[in-house]
Structure 1
Amino acid sequence: MEKINKRKIFNDPVLGFVSISDDLLFDIIEHPYFQRLRRISQTGLSYYVYPGSTHSRFLHALGCINLMQITHKVLKDKGVKISKEEERASLIAILLHDIGHGPFSHALESTLLEGIHHEKLSITFMKLLNEEFNNELSLAIDIFLNKYSRKFFHQLISSQIDLDRLDYLKRDSFFTGVSEGNVNSERIITMMNVVNDELVIDGKGIYSIEKYLTSRMFMYWQVYFHKTSVTAEIYLIEALKRAKQLVKKGKNVPSSDVLQYFLEKSDFIEINKMDLEKFAQLDDSDVISALKLWQSHEDKTLSLLSQFIIQRKLPSSLIISEPISNEKVEQIKNEVKKLYSIEDAGYFVHQKELSVLAYNDTKDPIKLLLKNGEILELQKADNQVLVKDLRKKITRYHLCIPREISGVK
């Protein structure tokens, strides 16, 4: 007997009840590709700093659906014509926008998949799902890729003021307890409008937009670029990198079958179906379980890195305004070589540039709709207060070194 989906309601602690009344949408949510997101952390290892930050990408995707539903209503109330097909397609596109994220996303992209960006994986997943669901995702894919003529649908999914950001800022603020990141998502959505099929913001919403931009900047410096979170991610990257190098040398590095697949494979110029099926089985638990095993590995570098992550014995870290010299970095590395009796201290000593540009006025700028019908870019508004400063890129440098080393003097 064919399964009949009834109306489903998810209880979201941040945005309230999320109602799913479309059978296709619910079937996609139920698909194993999407269910995997329950086991993928939204904020990586930030729970090492903010213990409550254990929410998943699954929850974030549901939140985005909620915001898209609210947006549809707001825009239609303002006279914007949205067909049933467009409504469904934009909901599917926002639901699947992060489906390509792997465990500890950025660590995975830079090591196991060697540069394959999560967006490329997302579109590959979407195309496979489209085949499985008889091409019912075709319009959603066009919207996701910005190939659909009505540009505002894509802007709602990916732009400087998209629903993705409106959800994750509010959600990450809630779960970390960092109140500076809390944005009034619904207030901003009520200020949205469409002119010539492009997304605009009612002029009276300018200060809500400035608050949103500053909140995003603060979340980067307080959460996403928190010195300990960055250090944990760097050491995770190095542990995976070391494991992959050992496997390449023929060493035994125990892990789950799916993680082993990615440790052994190095050519990811094109993602094939086997790669994707294996990736769809990979989640945070594979990586954490492997690190637990690797704590006692015979390779000292892998063992130490794994211990530091699992036991949260992370190195000292600093956010500094100017980088230290290469000579100083090499001096510290030499000290680490002696301390750990290893050949390559580059696994343990890192200096990384961190940059935040709160508002990029040269790339798809936010546009205001004034009362007289004029369209004005945000940075050109006479009554803006903070935008001028938000257009400046802020750059800092993250330095991490083992605690036993003297460090920067």
Structure 2
Amino acid sequence: MLTEVPYAKKQLAEEKVFKDPVHRYVHVRDQLIWDLIKTREFQRLRRIKQLGTLYLAFHSAEHTRFNHSLGVYEIVRRMTENFKEHEEWQGRYRLLALASALLHDLGHGPFSHCFEKIFHTDHEEYTRKIILGDTDVNKVLKRVSPDFPREVAQVIDQTHENKLVISMISSQIDADRMDYLQRDSYYTGVSYGRFDMERILRVMRPSKEEVIIKESGMHAVEDYLMSRYQMYWQVYFHPVSRGGEVLLNLALKRAKHLYEKGHEFKQAPKYFIPFFEEDVSVDDYLRLDEMVVNFYLQEWINEDDEVLSDLANRFVNRELFKYLPFDGSFITQSELEDLFRRAGIEPEYYIFSDSFSDLPYDYDRPGAKNNRKPIHLKKDNGELREISSQSAIINSITGVHRMESKLYYPKEKILAIEDLEIKGEIINILNQLA
């Protein structure tokens, strides 16, 4: 007598593998995971770069959210295999952990964080909407159980009752960070993001509330946290990449302003209109990927509006603004903005102060609101200790909040100013910042 295997337990007849430069292979055996990968919403991630505008500084940084999502899934898959021998791990949550890992970045938009600033979208909110909405992903997840999409969404937004599964995907030492540090390091060609992941996976232990680290693995975690610190300051905050983001930000801001003023575009910005009007459905959101955004930027080069044309051209052809270190002084920026206006240059599109900061490791003390969980070491006697209390290296960076600012400006426009007095004043201010 033949009986149908429940979908949650259904396996592929033969394991599928993806060749991967970070993990060598990504292994897929569950029918659910294979079906999720094939959905149009997940395939869209092939058209969303992992690092946004960073390719302007590191030419090979062209990898995608698709690559990264598979990598996070693979790390969590390996975690679940390692955890099987520990009684704290409940095997019934395995598929939930794998699906959540695979889909954790599903809602990222084109050029991600820059896009969100202009159009007030939130990729985490859209991840939830895609998982719970009328989508292919939702239909696949419901084949496990009617409530399974909600559970996956809860893991990703960190509200699920199983805190261990949440910490595997979202914590200060999680699969997400372990993949993107190594993957971004590989594709940018730097060595900063490399650390001994094999060792970390071997010393990870499941507990009721979180993933904890065996005490003997402390030095591997030190290496991981220092890798993260270096990647942020040497790669993610690279001023050239930030300069590309500045131009994209300003071009989108100008396009939105023109639309609101009734400007007639030569190429109607059909796919941008819901974002300009801030009335975006899930389908609208899914239609806009980086291929579409780049198409419009190419078209805007030929627009009649001089500012939009210039900003789009600068972004497409990498004619970036120059930059200087900046202390964020309101007086200095106000002076420059006034001088730009007098010179006939619109300061809201041609001078930009960009600030960025990072906190490599910290944890919330009792009573704090952010709920930032520490990394715990498990000693031989079973006692748990917060890692910075045991490591002098980690203690030295705990709670250290580093911040920097840059001022971006168009050097050639300044040099072309005909009024020598105004030009001289602008150059003097900029020289003082240098």
Work out whether the TM-score is over 0.5. yes
Question: What residue identity is the alignment partner of 2:113?
Answer: H
Q: 1:332 aligns with which of 329, 336, 353?
A: 336
2:229 & 2:129 partners in 1: Cα distance? 31
1:29 & 1:400 partners in 2: Cα distance? 40
**Cα shift at 1:33:** 0.8
**Cα shift at 1:179:** 0.6
Contact 1:308–1:314 (8 Å) recurs in 2: yes
After the TM superposition, which of the residue ranges 399-408 and 347-356 deviates more from structure 2? 399-408
- Residue 258, structure 1, aligned to residue 262, structure 2: no
Q: 1:375 aligns with which of 374, 384, 395?
A: 384
- Residue 310, structure 1, aligned to residue 319, structure 2: no
1:338 & 1:207 partners in 2: Cα distance? 58
Question: What residue identity is the alignment partner of 2:356?
Answer: L
1:117 paired residue number: 122
1:102 paired residue number: 109
- Residue 391, structure 1, aligned to residue 404, structure 2: no
1:220 & 1:244 partners in 2: Cα distance? 31
SS in 2 for 1:111: helix
1:319 & 1:162 partners in 2: Cα distance? 33
**Cα shift at 1:141:** 2.6
- State the percentage of identical aligned residues: 32
1:81 & 1:332 partners in 2: Cα distance? 59
1:45 paired residue number: 53
SS in 2 for 1:385: helix
Pairwise mapping of residues 204-243 of structure 1 onto structure 2 (< 5 A)?
Answer: 204-243=216-255
**Cα shift at 1:46:** 0.5
Q: 1:283 aligns with which of 283, 286, 289?
A: 289
Contact 1:367–1:377 (8 Å) recurs in 2: yes
Unaligned runs of 5+ in 1: none
Residues 200-229 of structure 1, C-alpha deviations (whole Å, 9 max, x = no match): 111111121121111111111111111111
Contact 2:130–2:138 (8 Å) recurs in 1: no
- The verdict on how the C-alpha distance between 1:131 and 1:15 changes in structure 2, with shifts beyond 3 A counting, is closer
**Cα shift at 1:155:** 0.6
Contact 1:255–1:289 (8 Å) recurs in 2: no
- Residue 295, structure 1, aligned to residue 301, structure 2: yes
2:157 & 2:240 partners in 1: Cα distance? 35
1:255 & 1:49 partners in 2: Cα distance? 31
Question: What residue identity is the alignment partner of 2:298?
Answer: K
Contact 1:167–1:185 (8 Å) recurs in 2: no
**Cα shift at 1:283:** 0.6
2:331 & 2:311 partners in 1: Cα distance? 24
**Cα shift at 1:152:** 1.1
Residues 336-386 of structure 1, C-alpha deviations (whole Å, 9 max, x = no match): 4466x34x31212111221110002212111111111110111221x4323
Pairwise mapping of residues 50-69 of structure 1 onto structure 2 (< 5 A)?
Answer: 50-69=58-77
Q: 1:75 aligns with which of 73, 83, 107?
A: 83
2:157 & 2:359 partners in 1: Cα distance? 24
Q: Which runs of 4+ in 1 moved over 6 A?
A: none
Contact 1:169–1:219 (8 Å) recurs in 2: yes
- The verdict on how the C-alpha distance between 1:370 and 1:284 changes in structure 2, with shifts beyond 3 A counting, is same
2:106 & 2:268 partners in 1: Cα distance? 24
Contact 1:227–1:318 (8 Å) recurs in 2: no
1:365 & 1:408 partners in 2: Cα distance? 44
Contact 1:357–1:391 (8 Å) recurs in 2: yes
1:195 & 1:131 partners in 2: Cα distance? 30
2:173 & 2:55 partners in 1: Cα distance? 26
After the TM superposition, which of the residue ranges 138-147 and 289-298 deviates more from structure 2? 138-147
2:392 & 2:156 partners in 1: Cα distance? 31
Residues 64-115 of structure 1, C-alpha deviations (whole Å, 9 max, x = no match): 11101111112223444332x4111111001111001000001211113x2x
SS in 1 for 2:271: helix
1:336 & 1:28 partners in 2: Cα distance? 52
After the TM superposition, which of the residue ranges 157-166 and 311-320 deviates more from structure 2? 311-320
1:132 paired residue number: 139
Unaligned runs of 5+ in 2: 1-10, 365-371, 415-426
After the TM superposition, which of the residue ranges 188-197 and 328-337 deviates more from structure 2? 328-337
1:180 & 1:222 partners in 2: Cα distance? 8
**Cα shift at 1:387:** 2.5
Residues 246-303 of structure 1, C-alpha deviations (whole Å, 9 max, x = no match): 011111233553233323x235xxx6xxx10111111101111111111121111111
Q: Which structure: larger Rg?
A: 2
2:342 & 2:303 partners in 1: Cα distance? 20
Question: What residue identity is the alignment partner of 1:206?
Answer: M
Residues 227-248 of structure 1, C-alpha deviations (whole Å, 9 max, x = no match): 1111111110111111011011
Q: How many residues align?
A: 391
